[in-house]
Chain A
Amino acid sequence: MKKKFARTIKEGIIETILFLSALSSVLITISIVVILSYESFGFFKEVSIIEFLTGTEWMPLFAEPKFGILPLVAGTLLTTAVALSVALPLGLIAAIYLSEYAPHKLREAIKPVLELLAAVPTVVYGYFALLFLTPLLQKFMPDLSGFNALSPGIIMGIMIIPYVSSVSEDAMRAVPMYIREGSYAMGATKLQTSFKVVIPAAFSGIAAAFIMGISRAVGETMVVAIAAGMMPNFTVNPSEPVQTLTSYIVQVSLGDVPHGTIEYRTIFAAGMVLFLMTLIFNIIGFWFRKRIREAY
């Protein structure tokens, strides 16, 4: 009897420890929100939130500082747009090819290799963007500056192809075979079936894959920090140097900014904007992914 009691206690302790471990992940999210809000709050005590959200000049380290976040947001969206114009078409076409056209053996061989694109350290991609792609592009575009939004954008696009293609492909393969067979029986080609039947049926999954790609591109740091220059430039021209939210945080972290100053707090304000942007994308993506399961 005593032995059984001791055993119940031991089981209870173990379950509690395991539960606390699982709960720790929630604690991480809470800490992120608390720390970003706390430091941003200190920042907004000194800078008006309206100036922050509408200002078009970002010069926080100057003698007469200007705190308009828009150039950083513009830089982030610009590099993201370039990345997506590479990753979405290539990723989607690759996914259709692998799901609908490719023989089984080729698909099984190529999928892990494609995943490698996402495994390469981002600092290595930054090296490629700055020292390989930019000089290459300059041969065709002589007025492209040494630091620009175009080349890190393209490299980021290649980097996120596997994110887009692998989730899209899973969604397309989940479409039941009889739906395709119905289409083939009506005399449709594979191409017509892919675009008119499979893609609409797998729409939620493909959308989730796209959103994941966007979220990745927005949060990407090292490629833009190395190859986009560190110039907060309020522009939509990808051949100019830009600064993103992430690369600004890197720039400040590399210097010696004392703890507790307004310059120190700017990186948390920029981080807050970045966190909220990716959070919105993650929520939309989550919503789409939930719909996948309801489809059939």
Chain B
Amino acid sequence: MTDIKKRIAISKFWNNSFWVAGLLSTFAGLVLLFALFTDLFLDGAPRISYKFFTSFPSRFPEEAGILSAWIGTTLVMLVTAMAAIPLGIAAGIYLEEYARKNWITNIIEINITNLAGVPSIIYGLLALGLFVYFFEFGESILTGGLALALLILPMVIMATREAIRAIPNSIREASFALGATKWQTIKDHIIPYSTGGILTGIIIGLSRAIGETAPIITVGALTFIAFLPTSPVSAEFPFVSFKWLFDPFTVMPIQMFNWVSRPQKEFHINAAAAGIELLAMTLLMIGIAIYIRYNFRKKIKW
């Protein structure tokens, strides 16, 4: 009798110990993350000022800023969004609404899963060979934006498919019963109802693209840019110019990488400040995505 009580006690002891270990493991990463953010914030926050946003990089750490970096990031993201969003949504719609169960569909599906697991730097090599030298876009904003678009394409496709899959079949059947064609059904029902999910996926994808450094370095973005791309709008005819697409550029993560890699302590402070901006942008985008998902979920009830 005492023997079995002892065994039960031992089992309970291990069970409770594991409960503690689980709690610690779950929070270990979060605690460390919090420590790192605090460290980053303490180092970089004093450096953030209006001047930091409006100055070019410089040899002198206290004069350096991130003007060319954040403008570069904005323009690159514009290209990425323009390329990845329509292509990703169209592919997602095809796979959910049109695709028949055959070997082509199967290949496309396996392929998308596999693409999501390809390291980002491989996309950089692809863009280097394809866009920089084969299509001769050069080491430009267009090349950088397209490289990141290819990178987030699988994410956009998967988000679109998931959002569409959540729509019950009764909606489609009701639309067909009223004589609508397939495209009319998709345009008037499927796309509007899945907008929330698709938008969430797109923003999460862009939030990943904004912090990506490796593919942008590979396509040859410069680390030191003391000028701005050609303005997309001008006062003279034809008012809109696309020359900026082919200008050399830098982006926020590369600027940060450049500053981290320097030996001087003062540049590390700049890196921390750039890191705070980068982190703030990423978290803001994720916040928006969560907000959209939450709101659309509340609105739509089947």
Q: Hey, which bits of chain A sit against chain B, CB under 8 A?
A: 7, 10-11, 14-15, 17-19, 21-26, 28-29, 31-32, 35-36, 38-39, 89-90, 93-94, 96-98, 101-102, 110, 112-114, 116-117, 119-124, 126-128, 130-132, 158, 161-162, 189-192, 194, 212, 215, 218-222, 225-226, 246, 249-250, 253-254, 259, 267-268, 271, 274-275, 278-279, 281-282, 285-286
Contacts and interface: CB of A to CB of B under 8 A. Distances in A.
A131 B275 CA distance: 13
Nearest to A212: B117
A26 B111 contact: yes
Given A7-B181, A122-B213, A22 B108 contact: yes
Q: Which of B121, B128, B153, B212 has the most CB of A within 10 A?
A: B121
Interface of B: 11-12, 14-15, 18-19, 21-23, 25-26, 28-30, 32-33, 36, 39-40, 86-87, 90-91, 93-95, 98-99, 107-108, 110-115, 117-126, 128-130, 133, 150, 153-154, 157, 181-183, 207-208, 210-214, 217-218, 220, 223, 253, 256-257, 260-261, 268, 271-272, 275, 278-279, 282-283, 286, 290
- Name the 4 nearest CB pairs between A and B, nearest first: A219-B119, A121-B211, A97-B22, A21-B90
A76 to B, nearest CB: 11
A119 B290 CA distance: 13
Q: Which of B122, B133, B207 has the most CB of A within 10 A?
A: B122
Q: Which of A31, A189, A194 has the most CB of B within 10 A?
A: A189
Contacts of B40: 124, 127-128
Given A10-B183, A18-B91, A39-B129, A253 B111 contact: no
B218 A274 contact: no
B210 A24 contact: no
21 contacts: A15-B98, A25-B112, A26-B107, A26-B108, A28-B126, A29-B115, A97-B22, A97-B26, A113-B30, A116-B286, A117-B30, A120-B211, A120-B282, A121-B213, A123-B211, A127-B272, A191-B18, A249-B121, A259-B133, A274-B122, A282-B118
B153 A286 contact: no
B138 to A, nearest CB: 11
Contacts of A249: 121, 124-125, 214, 218
Contacts of B86: 21
A54 to B, nearest CB: 24
Contacts of A127: 40, 256, 260, 271-272, 275
B1 to A, nearest CB: 15
B28 A90 contact: yes
Contacts of B286: 116, 119
B256 A21 contact: no
Nearest to B4: A187
Contacts of A7: 181
B39 A128 contact: yes
A194 to B, nearest CB: 8
A282 B154 CA distance: 15
B133 to A, nearest CB: 6
